[in-house]
Each structure stands twice: as C-alpha cells, then as structure tokens.
Structure 1
Amino acid sequence: MKKVNVILIMLLLCVGTAVMAQKKAKSFDDKEYASFGDKFKVSKIYTKEQMLKKYKTLKKGDTITVQFQSNIKAVCKKKGCWMKMNLAGDDESFVKFKDYGFFVPLNADNSEAIVHGKAFVDVESVESLRHYAKDGGKSAAEIAKITKPEVTYSFLADGVYIKK
C-alpha cells in the first residue's frame, strides 16, 4: 500500500510540474497585440514590480535594454508621442518613442502594453514637466503647482505592443 501511495504522489508531482511548465511557457501571440514602432521578439519580459527593482539599481547615466509589461497609465493627448506606464506602488515609467518615429493611439489609457527599449533614470526640468502636463490635459492650476525638477524612471522605446 505504501508503494502505491508513493507512486501516486510521484505521479501527481510530475503532472503538476508539467502543467506549471506549460503555463509559464505560454507563448506571445502577436495577433492579440497592435504593433507600434519596430517589431521585436518578445522574450524575458519584466513585470512592473521587477522593472521598479531594476530602476532602483540605476544611477543617472546608466542604461539597460529591457522589455517590460504593464498597464498604460496615461498617453499624450495631443498626438500620442509619450505614455506613462504603471510600476509597483505609485511609481510610473515615463516612456518616449525613439526619434519620435512613431506614436501610440490617444485612447490607449488603461491598456496592457509591452515595451522594448532602454530604461534609465533622468531628471526632468520644470519646463519639461509643465509641457508634459499640458500635453496630458492637466489644468492650468495643476500645471502651476509644478515648481521643481523631478527624478523620473524614463524609458526610450523602439517598439511597443498594445493589447487589442
């Protein structure tokens, strides 16, 4: 009887491991996503939590090439030339597009996206912050509250996939 139980447990462990491996190996289906900018092979995608940890290891001047997936928090309402993506907690990544070579839809807020490009830490001037706030549809009162430069988790994307 003990041998039967041991065999059953071993069988359940093998099946469970195979199911978990299959879930992890779920491949990227490009039919579920609209592509903007350069197409890229989706591999080693960081979550918003993992990406925040990566950002926290960077100093001004450091860059890393990565892919990360998160929800789009905001998009430039004038022409889709930048977006903000959620990171863990209240943090966000400010995403611009390489050489302004492409734009994303103005209504992409709250969509799931995968970005590929260079992550870095930057300091945005008051002038730039006010410009982005205006483009983002903020009120004059909200824009006037911007009075000092801000350290930002920046990202220069060469390609973006947005879930349809």
Structure 2
Amino acid sequence: MKNILYILALSIIIFSCKNEKSDEKTVVEAEEIAINYQTFGDEITDENVLSKEEIVEKYKSLKPGDTVNLKFATNVKEVCQKKGCWMKVGMGDDEAMVRFKDYGFFMPKDIAGQEIIVNGKAYVEEMSVEDQRHYAEDGGKTAEEIAAITEPKRTLAFEADGVLIPEIEKQ
C-alpha cells in the first residue's frame, strides 16, 4: 500500500513539474516580440483601435460637414516629400488624406508601406482642383499628372492629433 501511495505522489510531482515548464515556454515565446512605438503628436495608446474595415464603414455613413473621433490602424500609401506635412492612408479600395492638427507635427518621409495607428477626427470633404494639384505637386507627381486634375473630388479626410509607428524589436 505504501508503494502505491509513493508511486502516486511521485507521478503527481512529475506531471506538475512537466506542466509548469511548458507554461514557462509559452510565456517566453510570447515575450520574444515586443512592439514599441515612435509617437508623433499627442501621446496615444494602441488600445481600442478600429480595423481598416471598420473605419471604411464609418466613412460610408459620413456626409460633408460630419466628423467622428476615432482611432484606427491602416497602412501608409504616400507621404508629402517636401516636409512630411500630410500622408495618404489605405481605406480598402480608397484612401484618406491625413493632415496633422495645427501642423503641430510631421511624419518621416520614408514610411510609405508601413502599418500605423492614427487618432483624431474623420470627415468627408469636397477637395478643390487647386488643392488636389497642390498635394499632387507635394507628392512628387509629374506635370502631366497634375494637369490631368480638372474636377473637384469627394475625399475621405482625417485630422490626426496623434500617430504611432510600430517598431518591432526582438528581446
């Protein structure tokens, strides 16, 4: 009888040690990648971030003059190459023009293609031919591409008060 109890106790110890080690391995694997952010503008967090799909749905319900405060993740399509004073971000099949609150901060010019998080006000605007040409020039478009802009355009717009650019580091 003592032998059975001894074997049972030894089995429990071995199995509990084995489970503890596998849990430690899982924790270590999860900690190997940490996300740090470069912050531009106001300090914001990466919590409660809408997806690109969710923001596209929000834009569909907006009319010129409407605004909605939100935070979302998207990819950068283009950045002003003069000083980083605006950027265009992906919105499904469309894109949104992002400007920065009170021109209080600017983006690095080399972030096209990166995923970012932006916080601020989403709205829809009617962009004049003159403004479209100005942004096309800042974006490095050719004279022919600029001359081809001849009509006002309904655009998705965003005034960002904070932007996070992730930096992935191995620990």
How would you bin the TM-score normalised by the shorter chain? 0.7 to 0.9
Aligned partner of 1:56 among 37, 53, 60: 60
Secondary structure of 2:163's aligned partner: strand
Secondary structure of 2:56's aligned partner: helix
Give yes or no for the alignment of 1:110 onto 2:80: no
CA contact (8 A) 2:67 2:123 kept: yes
1:151 and 1:32 map into 2 onto residues whose CA distance is 36
Q: Give 2:47's aligned residue.
A: 43
The superposition leaves residues 98-155 of structure 1 with CA deviations (integer Å, 9 ceiling, x where unpaired) of 0000000000111111000000001110000000000000000000000001101100
TM-score by length of 1: 0.79
Secondary structure of 1:84's aligned partner: strand
1:109 and 1:135 map into 2 onto residues whose CA distance is 15
Q: Give 1:143's aligned residue.
A: 146
Secondary structure of 1:141's aligned partner: helix
1:161 and 1:41 map into 2 onto residues whose CA distance is 8
Gaps of 5+ in 2: 1-29
1:140 and 1:163 map into 2 onto residues whose CA distance is 35
1:30 and 1:162 map into 2 onto residues whose CA distance is 13
Q: Cα distance 1:30–1:63, how it changes in 2: closer, same or farther (>3 A)?
A: farther
Q: Give 1:23's aligned residue.
A: none
1:44 Cα deviation from its structure 2 partner: 1.9
Letter in 2 for 1:151: R
Letter in 1 for 2:155: T
Q: Which has the larger radius of gyration?
A: 2
Give yes or no for the alignment of 1:34 onto 2:38: yes
1:41 Cα deviation from its structure 2 partner: 3.0
Q: Percent identity?
A: 51
Gaps of 5+ in 1: 1-25
2:146 and 2:51 map into 1 onto residues whose CA distance is 31
RMSD value over aligned CA atoms? 1.6
1:48 Cα deviation from its structure 2 partner: 1.1
Give yes or no for the alignment of 1:67 onto 2:78: no
1:132 and 1:58 map into 2 onto residues whose CA distance is 23
TM-score by length of 2: 0.76
Aligned residues: 136
Secondary structure of 1:54's aligned partner: helix
Letter in 1 for 2:68: I
Letter in 2 for 1:48: K
Give yes or no for the alignment of 1:130 onto 2:153: no
1:30 and 1:153 map into 2 onto residues whose CA distance is 33
Secondary structure of 2:72's aligned partner: strand
CA contact (8 A) 2:35 2:166 kept: no
1:157 and 1:119 map into 2 onto residues whose CA distance is 9
1:42 Cα deviation from its structure 2 partner: 3.0
